């Protein structure tokens, strides 16, 4: 989902604003391409001239994060430190620290099912999606040797730093950066006086205060097994975040096997289990990381273990999984 829309296609799409009168406040919606997807801001406002300033600031913040956290941009902070930090500590930004620290904590709690050092393996599968050719076993083995969250050391003894154990490592924050960017966009909107807002980045949405006169933002939860049907459930959310991971958009189908863009580090392959996970948590950085992690856990240890991870993280979730040709749905109270 990190790269579902090609930057070239998006080049001509700039800020698009539309308004709908609602009660005293106006609903304002704005779209802008960032992080290889379309970001959407919705807010309610009595003073539209100020809203435009707030929206600009929020999108600028997301663009700043893209410059730090992208694995696509060769000169991103992430890509630069992956080279510079081999064998010794190098300073990193607070943003990169926040995302890497959350990632390493999730890696610890999932025994490496969630692992942002899988960059070399993820890139092999990205190529496979493009070419339709499976990566060789030796290629996967070599890429796996250059991966492993224990080879990444993230510290903050007053100033944040990272170190990598071996050359050729590549970090990939595609499973967590959009959730953090949604959180940060929302924070900027609140700081500018617009708490009744949401920031959405494809499968990751962060919600602020509820819209005027409502208990929350109506949010449809789609289901992986019925992508063309209407939403299976509508939640009213505020001051929370929701993320969905699945293979409905990004997958490779090779020799009759469907490989997800989410990699199982135990096999070095894209998930071959059909699974979709939706997580509701306090913040996007949590829901985004967890929905990806729970997808891997569902393949490794089954759907109950995936739900258990979500529960232990003070979050709620839905896991939909295909077993023996049948779709099964597991849910923690949501
Ligand atoms: P999401 O759409 O949030 O589930 O994130 C999927 C993206 O996360 C993939 O496109 C990869 O960039 C990255 N990714 C794939 N497998 C893993 C994994 N096991 N741990 C962490 N990130 C992963
Ligand atoms: Mg994710």
pLDDT digits (tens, 9 = 90+) for 152-184: 999 999 999 999 999 999 999 999 999 999 999
Q: Is the pLDDT of residue 5 over 60?
A: no
**258 assigned to some structural domain:** no
**330 assigned to some structural domain:** no
Tally of residues, the chain: 334
User: Would you give the DSSP letter of residue 272?
Assistant: -
Please, are residues 286 and 246 in contact by the beta-carbon 8 Å criterion?
A: no
Please, are residues 14 and 22 in contact by the beta-carbon 8 Å criterion?
A: no
Ligand 1 atom at minimal distance to the Cα of residue 174: 12
Distance 237 CA to ligand 1 centre (A): 25
Closest CA to 175 of 250, 89, 240, 64: 250
Arithmetic mean of pLDDT, 199-204: 94
Percent of the chain with pLDDT strictly greater than 70? 90
pLDDT at 47: 78
Mind listing the pLDDT tens digit for each residue in 19-46? 444 446 899 999 999 999 999 999 998 8
Give the start-end residues of each E strand in 165-311: 197-201, 204-207, 217-221, 233-237, 240-245, 251-254, 257-260, 263-264, 269-270, 275-281
Q: How confident is the model at residue 333 (pLDDT cuts 50, 70, 90)?
A: confident
* Long-range contacts, stretch 154-159, CB < 8 angstroms, 24+ apart: 154/97, 154/100, 154/101, 154/104, 155/89, 156/97, 156/101, 159/91
Question: In which residue are the tokens 């890696």 written?
Answer: 107
Q: How confident is the model at residue 223 (pLDDT cuts 50, 70, 90)?
A: low
Asked if residue 43 has its Cβ within 6 Å of ligand 1, the reply is no
Q: Is the pLDDT of residue 15 over 50?
A: no
CATH code of residue 220: 3.10.520.10
Domain that holds residue 12: 8-69+177-237
The DSSP string of 40-74 is EEEEEES-HHHHHHHHHHHHHHHHHHHHHH-SSST
At residue 4, the 3 state secondary structure works out as coil
Q: Is the pLDDT of residue 18 over 60?
A: no
pLDDT at 334: 56
**219 assigned to some structural domain:** yes
**318 assigned to some structural domain:** no
Residue nearest to atom 12 of ligand 1 (CA): 174
**16 assigned to some structural domain:** yes
**160 assigned to some structural domain:** no
Ligand 1 atom at minimal distance to the Cα of residue 243: 3
Report the residue among 174, 269, 299 best suited for mutation to probe ligand 1: largest number of ligand atoms under 8 A from its CB.
174
pLDDT at 12: 30
pTM: 0.92
**233 assigned to some structural domain:** yes
Asked if residue 171 has its Cβ within 6 Å of ligand 1, the reply is no
User: How many domains are contained in the chain?
Assistant: 1
Ligand 1 atom at minimal distance to the Cα of residue 1: 2
- Mean pLDDT, the chain, as a whole number? 90
Q: Is the pLDDT of residue 114 over 50?
A: yes
Residue 35 phi/psi, 5-degree rounding, is 50, 35
Asked if residue 100 has its Cβ within 6 Å of ligand 1, the reply is no
Q: Rounded distance, CA 101 to CA 184, Å?
A: 16
**223 assigned to some structural domain:** yes
Percent of the chain with pLDDT strictly greater than 90? 81
């Amino acid at each position: 989902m990190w790269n579902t829309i090609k930057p070239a296609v998006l080049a001509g799409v700039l800020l698009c604003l539309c308004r709908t009168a609602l009660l005293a406040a106006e609903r304002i919606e704005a779209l802008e391409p960032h992080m290889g997807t379309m970001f959407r801001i919705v807010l309610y406002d009595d003073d539209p001239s100020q809203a435009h300033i707030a929206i600009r600031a929020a999108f600028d913040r997301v663009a700043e994060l893209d410059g730090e956290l992208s694995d696509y941009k060769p000169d991103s902070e992430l890509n630069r430190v992956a080279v510079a930090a081999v064998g010794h500590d190098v300073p990193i930004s607070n943003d990169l620290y926040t995302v890497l620290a959350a990632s390493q904590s999730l890696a610890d709690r999932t025994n490496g099912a969630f692992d942002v050092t899988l960059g070399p393996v993820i890139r092999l599968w990205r190529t496979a999606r493009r070419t339709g050719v499976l990566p060789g076993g030796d290629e996967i083995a070599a890429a796996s040797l250059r991966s492993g969250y224990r080879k990444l050391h993230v510290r903050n003894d007053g100033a944040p730093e990272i170190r990598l154990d071996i050359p050729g490592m590549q970090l990939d924050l595609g499973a967590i950066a959009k959730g953090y960017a949604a959180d940060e966009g929302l924070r900027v909107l609140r700081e500018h006086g617009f708490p009744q807002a949401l920031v959405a980045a494809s499968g990751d949405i962060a919600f602020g205060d509820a819209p005027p006169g409502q208990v929350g933002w109506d949010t449809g939860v789609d289901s992986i097994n019925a992508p063309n049907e209407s939403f299976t459930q509508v939640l009213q959310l505020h001051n929370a975040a929701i993320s969905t991971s699945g293979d409905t958009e990004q997958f490779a189908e090779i020799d009759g096997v469907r490989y997800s863009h989410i990699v199982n580090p135990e096999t070095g392959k894209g998930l071959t289990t059909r699974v979709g996970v939706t997580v509701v948590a306090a913040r996007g950085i949590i829901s985004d990381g967890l929905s990806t992690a729970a997808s891997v856990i569902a393949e490794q240890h089954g759907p109950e273990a995936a739900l258990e991870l979500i529960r232990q993280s003070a979050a709620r979730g839905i896991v939909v999984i295909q077993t023996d040709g049948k779709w099964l749905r597991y849910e923690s109270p949501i």
